[in-house]
Amino acid sequence: MTKPVSICVIGSGYVGLVAAVCFAEMGHSVVCVDNDESRVKTLREGGVPIYEANLPELLKKHRGHGVEFTTELGSAVERSDAIFIAVGTPQGDTGAADLSFVEAVVSEIARAITSYKVIVEKSTVPVYTNEWIRRVMQRYGIDHALFDVVSNPEFLREGTAIVDFLHPDRIVVGAGSERAARLMESIYEPITGGSYYTRTDALLGACSSETPAKLLLTSAQSAEIIKHASNAFLALKISFINAVANLAESVDADVEDIAAGIGLDSRIGHKFLHAGLGYGGSCFPKDVAAFHWVAQQQGLNFELLQEVQRINDAQKDVFFNKVRSALWTLRGKKLAALGLAFKRDTDDIRESPALSVIKRLIEAGASVTAYDPAAMDRAKEVLPPSKQMKYADSAIEAAEDVDAVLILTDWKEFATLDLAELNRAVRFPIVIDGRNLYKPLYMAEQGFTYVSIGRPAVYNAQQGKPRRLIA
Ligand code: UGA
């Protein structure tokens, strides 16, 4: 049985909250700190502030036992051996990550520290942040023997964050000292040694006691770069397949077949080769820009990353032009938007391609009725209901009497619509799918004109195939 470690997690956002409950699930004693009093109150009283699978169950299991919530950073630091910093690092004006929250937290740690602590960067930060943390601590006169700084980036995805944390592809620990490395190893021991997976209450996932999680020890700088490079590479895969999709479409090829063909090469793999509206969310857009900025700071022009961003931005134009091509003029047209979240299984709308597309359609004079299984409340804050922007309680209700249905998020629910019912609801049976959720021929059989990404469009029999009128 692993010895429990006293852990303090600062920040109760996606990364902080997930890390806190997962460390408790591994058997550690965790205190999670946030300076947002109402959030801490919600968490203490049994609320779940974010939409994330398995999070309500784990919070229920560990709240008040393995994990407690507080606004008191000083006392939480004092009674912990490892302090994980998981605060936001938003994008600043230059593309660089804004590290002011990290610095503020480090200053508070410096004021509270009286015995040896391992300070762990969990937030996504640029290379050398570990060094800056060390300097801030020294500025406050903290003896270097009292702390070590470790980089332990997080690779969890929204929607599957808990399982990703407990069944990771890898754990990366960038530590400059043996002492800090050993503490980090003991924190992750339940999943690297495999004991967690033998428990009857363990969450199931890819790891097991025979194939436990792997921990990679590196320098702090390497760990910081691994995080940025991983996200940038995944974003690159998406932009690559989107660029291929546009080529495929112009020669009547099918990007789904192409992605399957490329992905069967085990050196490439099939993951993150889904063409669509481009990537969004709180990570890829910000991290690609921040990684580019990091390279620039070193006098290197990593232009490839700019191209990844450019293709991603252009993908929303590609989709908008498809809508225009299918409907001719947009003023006065009634559209259903299926999906608001940046991807399925989350209520997160940050940098959501769906919202960008909807905003543009509204600017062009169309009116939109949107439906999303989880993200409507959040979307209403940035796109309040109006004459041109309405919200429906179901996909079919959104589609009532519309000129076209647009699929903007890859929710499973949108891939399994009752197509006969959808056909009855709409004014014209036109589906423009930014997520390639259906097979074109099947949609044609169901009586739809169906336009998707990187695949030949199919036309409903009455409408016939139009001549290409808009480039
Ligand atoms: C991403 C990474 O996948 C995580 O490993 C990382 O920890 C996280 O960022 C982070 O840095 O915090 P996440 O933003 O939750 O996770 O979402 P993804 O599942 O990676 O999807 C990102 C975007 O790419 C979504 O808009 C999704 O629709 C899009 N996408 C993804 C595609 O367009 N095509 C694909 O094939 C895959």
Which numbered atom of ligand 1 lies nearest the CA of 352? 26
Whole-number pLDDT of residue 180? 98
Asked if pLDDT for residue 420 goes beyond 50, the answer is yes
Q: Could you please state the CATH topology (level 3) that the domain comprising 227-310 is classified under.
A: N-(1-d-carboxylethyl)-l-norvaline Dehydrogenase; domain 2 (1.10.1040)
Of 104 and 91, which is predicted with more confidence?
A: 104
pLDDT grade, residue 3 (50/70/90)?
confident
Whole-number pLDDT of residue 239? 98
Please choose from 343, 407, 435, 436 the residue to mutate so as to test ligand 1's pocket, defined by most ligand atoms within 8 A of CB: 343
Which numbered atom of ligand 1 lies nearest the CA of 353? 26
Whole-number pLDDT of residue 462? 64
- Which residue is closest in CA terms to ligand 1's atom 20? 157
Whole-number pLDDT of residue 471? 41
Look up 283 and say whether it is catalytic. Answer: yes
Distance between CA atoms of 356 and 373, rounded to whole angstroms?
A: 19
Which numbered atom of ligand 1 lies nearest the CA of 124? 11
Asked if pLDDT for residue 398 goes beyond 60, the answer is yes
- Which residue is closest in CA terms to ligand 1's atom 3? 157
Q: Render pLDDT for 58-73 as a digit per residue (tens, 0 to 9).
A: 999 999 999 999 999 9
Q: 237 C-alpha to center of ligand 1: Å? A: 11
Which numbered atom of ligand 1 lies nearest the CA of 154? 7
Architecture of domain 6-218: 3-Layer(aba) Sandwich (3.40)
Pair of tokens at residue 429: 């049976």
- Which residue is closest in CA terms to ligand 1's atom 16? 157
- Which residue is closest in CA terms to ligand 1's atom 35? 272
Please choose from 55, 284, 356 the residue to mutate so as to test ligand 1's pocket, defined by most ligand atoms within 8 A of CB: 284
Q: Render pLDDT for 170-181 as a digit per residue (tens, 0 to 9).
A: 999 999 899 999
Please choose from 125, 238, 274, 410 the residue to mutate so as to test ligand 1's pocket, defined by most ligand atoms within 8 A of CB: 238
Query: One of 8, 22, 32, 283 is an active-site residue; which one?
Result: 283
Distance between CA atoms of 405 and 57, rounded to whole angstroms?
A: 36
Whole-number pLDDT of residue 463? 61
Please name the residue ranges forming H helices in 300-352: 303-327
Strand ranges of the sheet holding 404-407, from the earlier edge strand across to the other edge: 389-391, 367-371, 334-338, 404-407, 430-433, 449-451
Q: What is the mean pLDDT of residues 199-219?
A: 97
DSSP code, position 286 = H
User: What residue ranges do the domains of the chain occupy?
Assistant: 6-218, 227-310
Q: What is the residue-averaged pLDDT of the chain?
A: 95
pLDDT grade, residue 1 (50/70/90)?
low
3-state percent breakdown (helix, strand, coil) of the chain, nearest 5: 45, 15, 45
Q: 241 C-alpha to center of ligand 1: Å? A: 14
pLDDT grade, residue 90 (50/70/90)?
confident
Under 8 Å between Cβ of 105 and 91: no
Q: Render pLDDT for 326-362 as a digit per residue (tens, 0 to 9).
A: 998 999 999 999 999 999 999 999 999 999 999 999 9
Apex 237 CA angle, 233 and 242, nearest 5: 145
Q: Which residues' Cβ are closer than 6 Å to ligand 1?
A: 124, 154-158, 231, 234, 238, 272-274, 276, 279-281, 283-284, 342-343
Q: Which of 149, 201, 215, 180 is nearest to 26 (CA)?
A: 201
Q: What percent of the chain has pLDDT over 90?
A: 91
Q: What percent of the chain has pLDDT over 70?
A: 97
Asked if pLDDT for residue 155 goes beyond 60, the answer is yes
Whole-number pLDDT of residue 465? 56
Whole-number pLDDT of residue 469? 47
Q: Render pLDDT for 446-457 as a digit per residue (tens, 0 to 9).
A: 999 999 999 999
Give the gyration radius of the chain's Cα atoms: 24
Q: Render pLDDT for 215-241 as a digit per residue (tens, 0 to 9).
A: 999 999 999 999 999 999 999 999 999
Which numbered atom of ligand 1 lies nearest the CA of 281? 14
Q: 469 C-alpha to center of ligand 1: Å? A: 35
Q: Render pLDDT for 255-291 as a digit per residue (tens, 0 to 9).
A: 999 999 999 999 999 999 999 999 999 999 999 999 9
Asked if pLDDT for residue 34 goes beyond 60, the answer is yes
Task: Please return the burial class of 36, using the count of CB atoms within 10 Å of its CB with bins 0-12, 13-18 and 19+.
Answer: middle
* CB neighbour burial string for 279-317, b if at least 16 within 10 angstroms, e if fewer: bbbbbbbbbbbbbbbbbeeeeeebeebeebbebbeebbe
Task: Please return the burial class of 61, using the count of CB atoms within 10 Å of its CB with bins 0-12, 13-18 and 19+.
Answer: middle
Q: What is the mean pLDDT of residues 83-100?
A: 88
Residue 167 CA to chain centroid, in angstroms?
Answer: 17
Distance between CA atoms of 100 and 136, rounded to whole angstroms?
A: 12
Q: Which of 322, 308, 340 is nearest to 433 (CA)?
A: 322
